[in-house]
A and B are shown apart, each in its own frame.
Chain A
Amino acid sequence: QKEVEQNSGPLSVPEGAIASLNCTYSDRGSQSFFWYRQYSGKSPELIMSIYSNGDKEDGRFTAQLNKASQYVSLLIRDSQPSDSATYLCAVPTNAGKSTFGDGTTLTVKP
């Protein structure tokens, strides 16, 4: 089992819809979770971090964390074509280094 797994893509949604990206992790002791967005040819950009169970909202983005289920998700409301990118789930260790999922490529169609 991979340490960090993301739902396989690619994911395609129409403009204005909700995009749902999912991630599971294997280390029960993990305390923080990050979502990065990576446009083609660019480096990853941190867009959300979450540390506590429940939801965290930032604009059109909502991160959801369920530590009992070892599950973290990212919802993008009112999806825009500019949201088309690869989204990476990352789980850092105590040493600060992160394990990344394989990423989910999202395409938002106008």
Chain B
Amino acid sequence: SAVISQKPSRDICQRGTSLTIQCQVDSQVTMMFWYRQQPGQSLTLIATANQGSEATYESGFVIDKFPISRPNLTFSTLTVSNMSPEDSSIYLCSGGNQGRLAEAFFGQGTRLTVV
């Protein structure tokens, strides 16, 4: 299984600012994803991070608000832009290999609080 290091683990940010979250995988994975998890709720997929091309966003999420980079098969970043208190949440990256039988593994998560 892949080990995913995510940082920062938590941050408190001022509204209107931006935060970039990084995920580093210890081996190459074909797929990387970014999720958001509100307190007491399940995971909501934000986007699929595509290596060398623009990310694929789910309904309700846009590139201007959540720009994503994936320069290679082991690294991805998610930026939460122009933050508001509604963006306070846990952000999780996951990685795995393509295919329905593929298992996905998660980073430790970033707990973001916007004040």
Contact = CB atoms under 8 A, between A and B. Distances in A.
A29 B109 CA distance: 31
Main secondary structure of the interface of A (DSSP, over half): loop
Contacts of B41: 102
Interface residues of B, number: 26
Interface size class of A (residues with CB under 8 A): 20 to 34
Given A34-B103, A96-B99, A88 B43 contact: yes
Query: By CB atoms of chain B within 10 A, which of A30, A43, A101 has the most?
Result: A43
B43 A44 contact: yes
B106 A96 contact: no
9 contacts: A30-B100, A32-B102, A92-B104, A95-B48, A96-B102, A96-B104, A97-B45, A97-B48, A100-B42
